[in-house]
Amino acid sequence: MPDATDHDEKPAPLRRSARVRRALLSGAICIAAAAPSFAVAADQFSIPGMMLGVAIFAVVMMVGSGSDRFRRFTRIPHMRRSLTFVYGLRVLISALMPVSLLADLLPGLAATALVSELMNAVGTEIRPNGVLGTLITVLVQGVLLNLVLLALLGLIWIPQRMFRPPPQRHGEAICASCGYCRDSIPNAKPCPECGSDDPPGTERATWIDRASPARFGIYLGLMTLLPILLAINLIWSFN
């Protein structure tokens, strides 16, 4: 059974390839999530402002997902599975028109109203549909959407924590690529199961690092291409 303090141990440093993959994945998630809003608001708000807002969230997600604190957070039993489900669901909804429009409608309206009230209260002359006004609206909408995802994460994780046993470790030395137990051959290199040259560790790598470059590229393509194509089709239908 995992020790109660496993998630407090400092993770091993990420390799450059792992950081690149997290950067690409962060960008893909943000692009897919933003596609429905682009389709609806492209003719009402500043496109550069929207693109800048998406880029800011992608950078924040990239830096956060590679941080030691977040990686320790994902070691909490059932947390990694819950995060994968929540953000996978978010990307899937983005590809399901018009469900994605309904999912983005309330946060978008709330963000627009909040920013308008804030600007009126401050007395600023920033145009709500200008670059800066659009950027602020996108950031507020993104925060609201992530609060919704955080609440959904809790609803998914808490029942697992209550009713499912924590996952067991498969030994103190396992292959980081395939999870093969290497206790009996700790110094073997490469891994006799998958041929990986990576040194053994105490936890299996995430799917982000296990997937081959080709498969990872397919994942990213599907995540981004379908929502973008649907958003473009929606823009044409509006026009």
The tokens for 74 are: 């994902």
Is the pLDDT confidence value at 171 over 50?
no
- pLDDT tens, residue by residue, 58-115: 999 999 988 888 988 888 888 988 999 999 888 888 877 677 777 787 888 899 899 8
- pLDDT tens, residue by residue, 211-236: 788 888 898 888 888 777 777 766 66
Mean pLDDT over residues 24-32, rounded? 89
pTM for the model = 0.76
pLDDT score recorded for residue 2: 42
Number of DSSP helices (H) and strands (E) in the chain, helices first: 8, 0
Q: Is 214 exposed, middle or buried (0-12, 13-18, 19+ CB in 10 A)?
A: exposed
Q: Which residues pair with 181 in a beta bridge?
A: 174
> Considering only CA atoms, which of 207, 76, 219 is closest in space to residue 153?
76
- pLDDT tens, residue by residue, 135-153: 999 999 999 999 999 999 9
Is the pLDDT confidence value at 132 over 80?
yes
pLDDT score recorded for residue 5: 47
Q: Are 32 and 95 in contact (CB under 8 A)?
A: yes
pLDDT score recorded for residue 158: 94
Provide φ and ψ at 174, rounded to 5°.
-125, 155
Is the pLDDT confidence value at 185 over 80?
no
pLDDT-derived band at 159, boundaries 50, 70, 90? very high
pLDDT score recorded for residue 176: 60
Which range among 5-14, 33-42, 128-137 has the greatest average pLDDT? 128-137
DSSP 3-state of 200 = coil
With a CB cutoff of 8 Å and minimum separation 6, the contacts of 57 are 30, 139, 142
What's the rounded Cα separation, in Å, for the pair 29 and 32? 5
Least confident range of 47-56, 59-68, 128-137, 203-212? 203-212
Q: Are 75 and 6 in contact (CB under 8 A)?
A: yes
pLDDT score recorded for residue 155: 95
- pLDDT tens, residue by residue, 115-125: 888 888 887 77
